Amino acid sequence: MKETATGPYVDVKDLKLGMYVHLELGWMAHPFPLSSFRLTGLEQIDTIRTLGLQRLRWSPEKSAGDVVAAHLPGASERLGQASLPPAEGLAEVSGIETAEAVARRQRKRALTAQREAQRQCESQLGEASREFKRALEMVATVPQQARLQTEALAGTLLKKMTGDGDMAIRLIGENAGDKASMHALNVTVISLLMGRVFGLAEEDLLDLGVGALLHDVGKLDLPDRVRFRDDHFTAAEVQFYQEHVAHGVSAGRKMGLAPGALLVIAQHHEHTDGTGFPMRLNSDRMSMAARIVALVNRYDNLCNPGLPSKALTPHESLSLLFAQGKNKYDTAIMGAFIKMMGVYPPGSAVQLTDDRYALVTSVNSSRPLKPRVLVHDPRVPRDEALLLDLEKSPALGIRRSVKPLQLPREALDYLSPRPRVVYFFEPARELEPTEIAA
């Protein structure tokens, strides 16, 4: 094993269970949900050995104590016994350490993990956005290659979110990418998670992902001024805008998309009561994938409209869909959507039952009623604030949703609600003790 300026490396042939490893590959170049993780199964090691890597960087301070001792002689003295994780058979924290020091160390480790999780999500979203933009750039000139690129991206997203583990929906910073790419990825990520909830077959999920990514591909043929519908459009402009569906189907056929993906493009503006466009189909003539994308697309357009001044909060968008969309959207899909996103989706500003203000930052898609929130606490600098998991705080809940402008100035500055709501997914993880303390 060789020590480098960036940290210790281990030969792939010497990997052991308990090591916390870093795959220095693009997120799309390996099958794991995250690029940094602790090895917990031999199948993970076997998979890593198929990636063509000779060695990996690893983090002794995040690895099991016995593994560290075996690979770094004298590790206990150099790292400090207290720095080894006190779990899974690892050494206990020294009794000499004060309770205050333990709390400080746990908080530091939790804050580091929190920032790393956010960084990884933003990096993964950025990589997916770049892949999608490359696909769009090929639609007009090499449509078949655009299809392959889009199918590869949808397949990667699908592989990352399938399996037995729970998925969390995370709020991402507003600078993640351009509007068109972020809308396509928002719709795709949430639609695939919905398809996962309904147990769609892998082939159907792939069609859903490709169709969701390309549902607005027809807008490439529209002038900029009519790409985003506005209430002040003339009748001619409305018709011009609605033609993006036909343009999208035409582009999809040139790309050679599968029938299931084409149906998503063709039907993503239809309503189950027959009031949508362009064909005025009702629910029994719409595909399951199209019914999912129609709802998710509307939700994201309410949160992120063409004119930012007309944006609704995620909670308001959900409430409006529920109140006005009962006849327009499949009731089973609507129910599953609300359950998955939570009553207060990520991005919602809320007031807690103890009167503190908070911002919902992520929701576990299988346990949505108690989201994870960033709480306004003037005693803690914002860049050191830890997330609060309401599921682990039974005495604390959400009293109400509030508009960002209803927040007190100090809470508004601290929480900084995003002007644009961008989502991505990550494996649900357990929080550190200091992250869940109310």
Residue ranges per structural domain of the chain:
3-81, 110-436
pLDDT in tens, 326-371: 889 999 999 999 999 999 999 999 999 999 999 999 998 777 878 9
DSSP 25: S
Whether the predicted pLDDT of 185 surpasses 80: yes
Q: Do the beta carbons of residue 304 and residue 420 sit within 8 Å?
A: yes
Average pLDDT over residues 70-82: 51
Q: Do the beta carbons of residue 109 and residue 432 sit within 8 Å?
A: yes
* Residue from 287, 216, 281 nearest 251 by CA: 216
pLDDT in tens, 254-292: 999 999 999 999 999 999 999 999 999 999 999 999 999
Report the DSSP beta bridge partners of residue 423: 171
Whether the predicted pLDDT of 429 surpasses 70: no
End-to-end Cα separation, the chain, in angstroms = 43
CATH of domain 110-436: 1.10.3210.10
Mean pLDDT of the chain: 87
**Contacts of residue 192, Cβ cutoff 8 Å, sequence gap at least 6:** 154, 157, 158, 161, 205, 208, 209, 212
Say whether pTM exceeds 0.75.
yes
List own/partner pairs for 325-328 with CB under 8 A and 24 or more apart.
325/295, 325/298, 327/271, 327/272, 327/273, 328/271, 328/272, 328/273, 328/275, 328/276
Average pLDDT over residues 181-186: 95
Whether the predicted pLDDT of 92 surpasses 80: no
Q: Where are the beta strands (DSSP E) in 12-160?
A: 20-22, 36-38, 55-58
